[in-house]
Amino acid sequence: MFRRVLGRSGLEVSVVGFGGIIVKDETTENAAKYVEEAINRGVNYFDVAPSYGNAEDMLGPALEPFRKDVVLSCKTDALEKDECWRDIETSLKKLKTNYFDLYQFHSIVSKEEVDKIFSAGGAMEAVLEAKEKNLINNIGFSAHTEEAAFELIKRFDFDTIMFPVNWASWLKEGFGNSVLDLAKKKNMGIIALKALAKRKWKKGEERNWSKPWYKPVENYEEAKLGLRFTLSKGVDTAVSPGHMELLRWACDAADEYEPLSKTEEDYLREKAKNLENDTVFPHPDA
């Protein structure tokens, strides 16, 4: 699998990333098998968070034999310093590592959350202290609103941004375009969410995929198109949704990657016009 440089971090990452939710609620044997399979496919970016159930417990032992060869990213939902430190220390232990290549503030949606992170006694104090202790090499965030992304970029010189980059939301509502433009000007590494998203789950709809917060693509051709669009927007890596089958589609699509042409994007733009009104997906990662 080909790789791109993750912005100013200088890290080379596979264009498809392993979403830690893949190993949530799996057996130890399956977790180890899935991680090894991903690495054999060329995946070297692994992303997880404490809020992903027991994913850290499963990922740590599975990833331990490969730790020196991968880029490991973890996240915190904490907004206050003490809670953030607890997350950092617990995640390091569970993931069987003594440092994170990247540590991110997780799933930020409002200016109020940003204010808390940067306040006296806020979570940023813990992250900066952890970086001074060489527990963290790079600092980033995941955001799910443009308001939060812009506010975070204004407050601090972050190394990376994780943000939804999905063809339907982008082409129907312009969601994400200006955020990525600013991130590129700042030479931030760009990690895409929701490349393989299709739409929101409908109320009462039977869910054939149990882990994603949205309905993912339903076949390989949809996966290929979604990933091509996302990678064509200059992102460095796109994190897969939370099932191994979807990661396999993403890896196959990366192997066949060609940039999306203007004609193809115009076709998608017309297609986006006919989609249901709600194409911006719920904010949680996956």
The CATH number of whichever domain residue 94 belongs to comes to 3.20.20.100
Assigned domain for 121 exists: yes
pLDDT at 255 over 60: yes
pLDDT range class, residue 282, cuts 50, 70, 90: low
Cα separation, 73 vs 140, whole angstroms: 9
Is residue 284 domain-resident? no
pLDDT given for residue 286 in this prediction: 43
- Extract the tokens encoding 256: 């066949």
Residue 241 sits in which domain range? 3-274
**Domain total of the chain:** 1
Residue 223 neighbours by CB under 8 Å, 6+ apart: 196, 217, 246, 249, 250, 252, 253
Stretch 108-129: mean pLDDT: 98
Residue 111 lies in a domain: yes
Please report whether residue 286 resides in a domain.
Answer: no
Confidence of residue 285 (pLDDT cuts 50, 70, 90): low
Q: Is the pLDDT of residue 50 over 60?
A: yes
Percent of the chain with pLDDT over 70: 96
For residue 103, tell me if it sits in a domain: yes
Q: How far apart are CA 191 and CA 121, in angstroms?
A: 28
| pLDDT of the residue at 273 | 84
pLDDT at residue 203, rounded to an integer:
85
Q: Is residue 51 part of a domain?
A: yes
How high does pLDDT run on average in the chain?
A: 93
Q: What percent of the chain has pLDDT over 90?
A: 83
Cα separations in angstroms, 271 against 119, 160, 189, 240: 44, 31, 30, 23
The model's pTM: 0.95
For 3-45, the pLDDT digits (tens) are: 999 999 999 999 999 999 999 999 999 999 999 999 999 999 9
